[in-house]
A and B are shown apart, each in its own frame.
Chain A
Amino acid sequence: MNCLEFRRICLSDPYTSAADFAAHRLECHECTRFVDSVTAFDKKLLDAMQVPVPEDLATRVKLRQVIGEEHARRVRPWQWALAASIFVSVALGGFLGLQVYSTNLYIAQLQASVIDHVNNEPDFISVQGKVPSDKFARVMAAFGAEVVNKDIESLIAHAYVCVMDKRPIAHIFAGNGGQVTVLYVTGKRIGAETPFKDDSHQGVLIPAGGGNLVVIAPKGEQIEPLVTKLKQSIRWSI
């Protein structure tokens, strides 16, 4: 191998383990310096290529995959068969009564989970400052929702993908100082908007997309303006 050939390979594959390349490198000082300069340049290039990776990307990848699987499961034939058999037995057993009962149970359970979640949100989550401009939209997009009115971002303090009852949910701190919590929970979509309260909280469940939007705040906090704004600003594709 001559110097010209060696340098040509240097610029295309400086990491080759080819024997004749290694041999020339050993016997030619100029070419050793040349290949070292190419690999030193590559190191700088590698540093320059290290663009920051969004911190919650792995979570969102998992979420997308989970949602994809759920979607796929919905259309499995045995489920249709199962659903049909349940429908028949439910119809025989008194359809309306049972449906109301199970829906009320679901709403009660959802409210309990939400209040529990809000009470136990870790302290380390900072609610200071404004959410990065597209973070709210990106979190909502992961749940099949599009933010159509960017004005709402001025009311959002923090937004991220959280977990409730082992399911991914959107967790949003809103209002001045983030006292109002907005959660988006996928799953059974309730029939109608349902207000709820306990000793220290008040809130509302709003059917939206493939699940429900929950707005919850400490007692006495105004939530209606935010609820109105949320309805105007988010469009659901599922």
Chain B
Amino acid sequence: MFNGKKFTVDPVSVGMGRSKREKFELLLEGLMDDLYRYAYWVCRDRVQAEELVQETYLRAWKAIGSLRDADSAKSWLFTICRREYARQFERKRLQMQDVEDIGELPGAKVAFDTSTEAFVLRRALATLSDDYRDPLVLQVLGGFSCEEIAGVLGISSSAVMTRLFRARKQMRELLTDDESDSRCVTEVRA
């Protein structure tokens, strides 16, 4: 029997600095789940979300030398993803899912909340315009500050504040219109 290693090249170990690979592994292990979910909520399509994640990491690998500060790694990665989405947007928009499909994610496995309230929230979130949903997902799911969101989206902090305010206001309006689930929303008593 021949020794396979003699004739094949391990592509992972050739010509790459260890630290570059380590950085990449950390970006992958620590941030991929959040990045996938962000990508999903940006495009609301599982297949496209996967493509976005793939493309984001491919670009991240090429540009990883420019990443020096560990604290900014997450917003750096999300920014790459957001730009990639903008690039693909026109090409892919016709394939986007209908809002009604959002609650029925095929292939769902454990720990996926299918309760009515989560369904209603997902539906409401999907109904928001992209401009409002995007900063809200970055804040609630990504845990980013308004300044970081401004960086990812390439808009001013005050524009981010305005969009977040309108996003939450719209969510409340959408959910209070739906009498069956008005408990999702707390009333504003000014």
A-B contacts at CB below 8 angstroms, number: 154
> Which 6 A-B pairs give the minimum distances between C-beta atoms?
A37-B186, A48-B121, A165-B4, A109-B2, A12-B165, A12-B164
B interface residues with partner A (beta carbon < 8 Å) = 1-8, 10-12, 14-16, 24, 28-29, 32-33, 36-37, 40-41, 46-47, 50, 53-54, 57-58, 61, 105-109, 111-113, 117-119, 121-122, 125, 136-137, 139-141, 145-146, 160-162, 164-165, 168-169, 171, 184-186, 188-190
Residue of B nearest to A64 (CB): B54
Inter-subunit contact B2/A166 (CB<8 Å): no
Of the listed residues A46, A53, A61, A187, the one surrounded by the most CB atoms of chain B closer than 10 A to its CB is: A61
Inter-subunit contact A47/B146 (CB<8 Å): no
Inter-subunit contact A112/B140 (CB<8 Å): no
Q: How far is the CA of A108 from the CA of B46 in the complex (A)?
A: 41
Q: A49-B140, A50-B37, A112-B1 are in contact. Are A13 and B109 (CB under 8 A)?
A: no
Number of A positions contacting B (CB below 8 A): 56
Q: Does A83 lie at the interface of the complex (its beta carbon under 8 Å from any beta carbon of B)?
A: no
What are the residues of chain B within 8 A of A57 when measuring CB–CB?
32, 36, 50, 53
User: How would you classify the secondary structure of chain A's contact residues: helix, strand, loop or mixed?
Assistant: helix
Residues of A150-173 at the interface with B, using a CB-CB cut-off of 8 Å, are: 164-167
Residue of A nearest to B118 (CB): A48
B130 CB, nearest partner CB in chain A, Å? 15
Inter-subunit contact B169/A132 (CB<8 Å): no
What are the residues of chain B within 8 A of A121 when measuring CB–CB?
none
What are the residues of chain B within 8 A of A166 when measuring CB–CB?
5, 8, 10, 12
Residue of A nearest to B136 (CB): A45
B19 CB, nearest partner CB in chain A, Å? 16
Q: A52-B109, A166-B10 are in contact. Are A61 and B32 (CB under 8 A)?
A: yes
B69 CB, nearest partner CB in chain A, Å? 21
Inter-subunit contact A45/B165 (CB<8 Å): no
Inter-subunit contact A50/B111 (CB<8 Å): yes
Partner of B40, one of A4, A30, A51: A51
Q: How far is the CA of A149 from the CA of B142 in the complex (A)?
A: 40
